[in-house]
Amino acid sequence: MKGFRFSAVEAAIKKPGRLDLALIFSDLPAKVAAVYTTNKVQAAPVIISRERSENGSCRALLVNSGNANACTGEQGMLDALECGRKTAEALGLPDEELLIASTGVIGQQLPMDRFRKGIQPLVDQLDHGTLEDVATAIMTTDTFAKIERREGEAGGTPYSIWGIAKGAGMIQPNMATMLSFLVTDAAVDGAFLKSAFAEAVDGSYNAITVDGDTSTNDTALVIANGAAANPVIKGGTPEGDAFRALLHDLLLSLAKLIVKDGEGATKFVEIRVKGAATNADAKTAALAVANSLLVKTAFFGQDANWGRIIAAVGYSGASVEQQQVEIRFDDVVMASGGIFAGGDAEAAGTRVLQQKEFKVTIDLKLGSGEAAVYTSDLSYDYVRINADYRT
């Protein structure tokens, strides 16, 4: 990746033995577009970065795991500002050109002595780290690092987009605990970058759920430094359309990895609602099914209980006519006209649910609205992981 450097160190922010403090640095002035949590309770780094990213430019990102620095009051704000200031000074940057992100336990003050010791080694190792190191450093209950790459071309000049993400629990982004950072050496118009990224986030991170929880720290951003020296990519052009498609494809792949790594998950499920009165209705119904604890536990138990699904659709708030609804597990029709398709369907549907990945299609037969949401099942391990999270 041209014009970017990365590093990660072990600062023992929560406990020793793992990378937990990371830095992304652009050698060139860069454009930035960002989307943050819609939770009204927001962590100090979200508040600071939201304000700084409004001007559409940045040079660096400091991120830690192990401590969310959320609900930490004035001291949390002061500590976040100090971490940013010391890092910016070590990089020779104004404070405003550095963004901050955190993930981890809510309500605990940052261990500032460990941050202070970690910042200079972090900067010193910029020539030796990788984006994969950063992806590893931002993990909490994740079981694997999530990283994706896409290649594009503008005006005959090739460029790359790389992205990383973390998240396994507290996942229902409304822009879950979820962080995602993209870097590209493409030269991109700032206004177009902002609109294209927001659209891509809405079709990816806003279309997944593990447990219906939206974090205080959700942050997704893309930094474009133009090091590829391509003609500037703008909206309303073939190059812009191609860049937009690459963004969406990369983010959707990362989003699906988050669901597949959902805490305790044993199933990856696409909930697709079609035939809705509107696209908004389709998404409302899909999210209701995807977040239903009864549905998710049925998936875990491989119980072809389509009744839980139609019940969730009915209470979702979407327009529904019971006698129109059709439900499929992959290609198996479980219900048609709102009525059970019979014992053979039950047996075939159970076989579908025994797979690690499958699709539930709900046809409301009311219009052309359509949406997909990606979710996981709910297992015993989800309870165990979250019961022991702070220990």
- DSSP-assigned beta bridge partners for residue 255: none
Q: Are residues 252 and 314 in the same domain?
A: no
Crossing angle for the helix pair 306-315 and 279-291, to the nearest 10 degrees: 130
What pLDDT shows up at residue 383? 81
Total Cβ atoms within 10 A of residue 355: 14
- The pair of structure tokens assigned to 58 is 């940045």
Q: Are residues 248 and 309 in the same domain?
A: no
d(CA 1, CA 161): 8
Q: Are residues 149 and 284 in the same domain?
A: no
d(CA 208, CA 172): 6
- Domain carrying residue 151: 4-260
Active-site option among 72, 136, 177, 214: 177
- Residue 147 and residue 74 in contact, taking contact as beta carbons nearer than 8 Å: no
d(CA 200, CA 126): 29
**Given the structure tokens 């929560």, which residue do they identify?**
14
Q: Are residues 249 and 273 in the same domain?
A: no
Distances 121 to 9, 99, 101 between C-alpha atoms, Å:
7, 19, 19
Condensed to tens digits (0 to 9), the pLDDT of residues 217-265 reads 999 999 999 999 999 999 999 999 999 999 999 999 999 998 888 777 8
Q: Are residues 175 and 89 in the same domain?
A: yes
What pLDDT shows up at residue 125? 96
Task: Count CA atoms closer than 13 A to 355's CA, side-chain side.
Answer: 13
The residue ranges of the chain whose pLDDT is under 50 are 175-176
Q: Is 74 annotated as a binding residue?
A: no
Q: Is 184 annotated as a binding residue?
A: no
Q: Is 177 annotated as a binding residue?
A: yes
Q: Are residues 289 and 246 in the same domain?
A: no
Q: Are residues 9 and 131 in the same domain?
A: yes
DSSP state of 275: E
What pLDDT shows up at residue 96? 97
d(CA 54, CA 325): 45
Q: Are residues 161 and 240 in the same domain?
A: yes
> Based on the structure, what is the number of domains in the chain?
2
What pLDDT shows up at residue 175? 47
d(CA 30, CA 114): 29
**Among 225, 260, 295, residue at a domain's last position:** 260
Q: Are residues 116 and 218 in the same domain?
A: yes
Q: Is 270 annotated as a binding residue?
A: no
CATH code for the domain of 202: 3.60.70.12
Q: Is 386 annotated as a binding residue?
A: yes
**Given the structure tokens 């990383």, which residue do they identify?**
164
The vertex-293 CA angle with 275 and 351, nearest 5°, equals 70
**Among 236, 260, 284, residue at a domain's last position:** 260
- Please state the φ and ψ torsions of residue 231, each to the nearest 5 degrees: -55, 140
Q: Are residues 321 and 291 in the same domain?
A: yes
CATH code for the domain of 286: 3.10.20.340
- Residue 263 and residue 168 in contact, taking contact as beta carbons nearer than 8 Å: yes
Note if 177 is an active site residue.
yes
**CB-count burial class (<10 Å; 0-12, 13-18, 19+) for 54:** exposed
Nearest to 89 by CA among 56, 62, 54, 110: 62
Q: Are residues 119 and 194 in the same domain?
A: yes
Crossing angle for the helix pair 112-124 and 73-91, to the nearest 10 degrees: 20
Q: Is 140 annotated as a binding residue?
A: yes
**Among 226, 260, 294, residue at a domain's last position:** 260
Q: Are residues 240 and 299 in the same domain?
A: no
